[in-house]
Amino acid sequence: MNPMREPTHTRCAISSCGWCDRDGLDCRFCSGTGWWRPERPHRDASGIIVWLRVDEPCRGCAGTGKEHSPTVAI
Ligand SMILES: [Zn+2]
Ligand SMILES: [Zn+2]
């Protein structure tokens, strides 16, 4: 079972964001899903470190799934 996640936002917090106005450019961090799945270390009851996957809204695109490259001026 692997339900498709929808982007959490259609636009980011910037009111006139040139990246949000674009289409067809998926975020390189989350491949356009708006979510990323980092692994977090967690120490279980016996003291063993295990890695747990967590779902978080993508920070690269503010959950929009659209590429928001900060290195390119608009
Ligand atoms: Zn934006
Ligand atoms: Zn993203």
Instruction: List the domain boundaries for the chain.
Output: 1-74
Nearby residues for ligand 1 (ion, Cβ within 5 Å)? 12, 17, 19-20
Q: Which string of DSSP letters, residue by residue, matches 39-58?
A: EEEEE-TTS-EEEEE--EE-
Q: How far is residue 70's CA from residue 56's CA, in Å, rounded to a whole number?
A: 20
Determine how many CB atoms are found less than 10 A away from the CB of residue 44.
9
User: Using an 8 Å Cβ cutoff, are 26 and 65 in contact?
Assistant: yes
Looking at every residue in the chain, the average pLDDT score rounds to: 87
Q: How many angstroms separate the alpha carbon of residue 21 from the centre of ligand 2?
A: 15
User: What pLDDT band is residue 73 in, cutting at 50, 70 and 90?
Assistant: very low
Instruction: Tell me how far the alpha carbon of residue 43 lies from the centroid of ligand 1, in angstroms.
Output: 37
pLDDT 10s digits, 3-37? 567 898 999 999 899 999 988 789 998 999 999 88
Ligand 2 midpoint to CA 68 (Å): 8
